[in-house]
Amino acid sequence: MAKKSSSYITLLLLAPITIWLVVLLVLPLLVVLIYSFGELAEMGGYRPAFTFAQYANLLSRLTAFKNTLMLAPAGTIAALLIAFPMAYFLARKVSARRRLMLLTLVIIPFWTSFLIRTYAWMFILGGRGIPALLDFIGIEGVRLLNTPTAVLIGIVYGYLPLMVFPIFVSLEKLDGTLLEASDDLGASPVRTFLQVTLPLSLPGVATGCMVVFILLMGEFLIPALLGGGKVFFIGNALVDLFLQSRNWPFGSAVAITLVVIMMIVVTIYMRLIFRPGKTQDVSII
């Protein structure tokens, strides 16, 4: 009787989130999947059918897929390389009083609209921004705006805080006695970092990379503004197909393909990071 009561309580606790996921995730994806097998109506939109023609036409958006699959991982790695030293400094080298102030500074950009912040980078990277400064000191002909470099800069700036905080949490919880033991055993600071600090911070690194990568796969604002229509992501292709071309079946096929790619990448990533039976092997000698 107690087991049945416990099962009912578990079902009641899981019911809200289950309903939430079904209504807001599963059903919309099911609708998009159905649309992807349809045909384009004469006036745009969706006409019921069962055809794989939309999937056969995916190569027409190959550039968008290529840009997304190149710049999303590159942006994730770049954000990680910048975020890790920041998080390490905040967690291990700053007093608790100053840490709160510095963490607030990391959060402050989120208090402003993402659109406005991206527009600001249009000026910074435009002809009257960094290129004008470089031209003044004698470096001429530098063009940043409407290039992959501009998109990459915007990605790192926009998503850096989302990478910093998970790594910061992992580093803050790191047991200081392990670092002391490593030092007592004669390990150099570099060796201590590589064999103790870095392995123990991997959960935060894994979480930050996954969050940033997933969000970047659907990004459309940064490529639209800083790429100037020359650096298209899948997100830009979806906006064009659904809102401008009104080609809902093809847009649905592109969206489903993107979801499948993300699921494959995330599954492989999770299996590599969180393998069953994997343990944290930390050597301090």
Q: Which amino acid is at 43?
A: M
- pLDDT bin (cut points 50, 70, 90) of residue 4 is low
**pLDDT score of 281:** 45
* Predicted model pTM: 0.85
Res 179 pLDDT > 70: yes
More confident site: 214 or 92: 214
Q: What is the pLDDT of residues 225-243, one digit of tens each?
A: 999 888 999 999 999 999 9
Evaluate if residue 107 carries a pLDDT over 70.
yes
Domains of the chain by residue range: 37-273
Given this model, what pLDDT does residue 282 score?
43
Q: What is the mean pLDDT of residues 186-214?
A: 88
pLDDT in the model for residue 279: 45
- In this predicted structure, the answer to whether residue 209 has a pLDDT above a threshold of 60 is yes
**Which of 24-33, 149-158, 180-189 shows the lowest per-residue confidence on average (mean pLDDT)?**
180-189
Q: Using the predicted structure, report yes or no on whether residue 285 has a pLDDT greater than 60.
A: no
Q: What is the percentage of the chain residues whose pLDDT exceeds 70?
A: 94
**Residue scoring higher pLDDT (112 or 153):** 153
Domain formed by 37-273, architecture: Orthogonal Bundle (1.10)
**Average of pLDDT values for 88-108?**
87
Q: What is the pLDDT at residue 159?
A: 94
Four-CA torsion 211, 259, 111, 166, nearest 10 degrees: -10
Q: What is the mean pLDDT of the chain?
A: 88
Mean pLDDT to the nearest integer, 125-132: 88
pLDDT score of 187: 80
pLDDT over 60 (residue 283): no
- pLDDT at residue 284 in the model: 39
Mean pLDDT for the stretch of residues 246-254: 95
- Lowest mean per-residue pLDDT among 12-16, 234-238, 269-273: 269-273
pLDDT, mean of residues 160-181: 88
pLDDT given at position 2? 58
